[in-house]
Amino acid sequence: MDRLVLLGSKGGPAVRSGGPWPSSSLLEIGGRTIVVDCGLGVTRALTDAGVSLNALDLIFVTHLHSDHVLELGPLIHTAWTAGLATPVTVFGPPGTGYYWQCFCQAMEFDIEIRIIDEGRPDIRDLITVEEFGEGAVLDERGLTVAALRVDHPPVTDCFALRFEQSGKSVVFSADTAFFPPLAEFAKAADILVHEAMLEEGVERLVARTGNGARLREHLLASHSFADEAGRIASDAGVTRLVLNHLIPADDPAIGEDDWIDAVRKTWSGDLTIARDGLVVGLGGQKAASGEETA
């Protein structure tokens, strides 16, 4: 069954007891197992979602902020020790190849010893890293992927991604300030997964953070408020909007109703507020458990 699973739903790299985890998503579409972003916790969340790690197929990284890439190497390495024997392609912005090369160097002792001692294939031969820019990224067995450079200063290589297979389409905004060209890029998609901040939550977050003024400046310049995500979804005419990469994500004073109130100013269609492990069915199929129906 085709499905989207929001593995990690918070924005930013810090984790707190009982709170949600950084960015990663699973897209199962047309028999492909696709991971989008590899924030901390992606490996555990994939196994919790019932995915066999040695079935990993395609990995996409939207940009090299740690809340999207920190666990890329550990995910692949763990899949390898779980029996991965088929090639995996990692698509990421410029710099992804360097990350992977350095990860393999850092883990060289373990990799070499497992090849010799356990007879495993060389992990460095199983993985291909394809660095991409804006435009067409992949066209393979009916799956097409396209990228759009979004507005996430000071990061310049940050890309929204559009996945299409058998008439179904899912778009990820990546991290971005309000960026009107995303509406055209996400045109008529079945699902738009868009990042979101909540204004009053940001003020509370800034107030309790040491480096508050700088943090506030960064957030406002490089992320979108929930109503801005709703504006993109409305202009694009998507079927369902998923608010994800939530900032703040672990403020006990902020609940799902606050997010819904904020986004309903600009979006009246199907809506999902992400939480870790939430399953969203694709193409009108029913998800097995935990499916959001709001």
Please give the residue ranges that form the binding site for Zn ion (CB under 5 A): 65, 67, 175
**From CA 34, how far away is CA 2, in angstroms rounded?**
11
Closer Cβ to Zn ion, 33 or 244, answer by number:
244
Residue 239 DSSP code: S
Closer Cβ to Zn ion, 175 or 190, answer by number:
175
**From CA 28, how far away is CA 228, in angstroms rounded?**
28
Distance in Å, CB of 160 to Zn ion, minimum: 12
By annotation, the residues acting in catalysis are 67
* Rg, the chain, Cα only: 18
Q: Determine which helix (DSSP H) or strand (DSSP E) holds 271, and give its type and residue range.
A: strand 270-273
**From CA 225, how far away is CA 120, in angstroms rounded?**
47
Closer Cβ to Zn ion, 12 or 281, answer by number:
12
Distance in Å, CB of 45 to Zn ion, minimum: 16
Report the 10 Å Cβ neighbour count for 22: 29
Closer Cβ to Zn ion, 165 or 244, answer by number:
244
Residue 156 makes CB contacts below 8 A (sequence gap 6+) with 149
Distance in Å, CB of 107 to Zn ion, minimum: 25
Closer Cβ to Zn ion, 143 or 242, answer by number:
242
Distance in Å, CB of 289 to Zn ion, minimum: 27
**From CA 159, how far away is CA 186, in angstroms rounded?**
13
Q: Where are the alpha helices (DSSP H) in the chain?
A: 42-48, 66-69, 72-81, 96-106, 108-118, 123-126, 181-185, 199-208, 212-222, 226-236, 256-263
Distance in Å, CB of 164 to Zn ion, minimum: 24
60 within 8 A of 34, measured Cβ to Cβ: yes
Q: Calculate the CA 99 to chain-centre distance.
A: 18
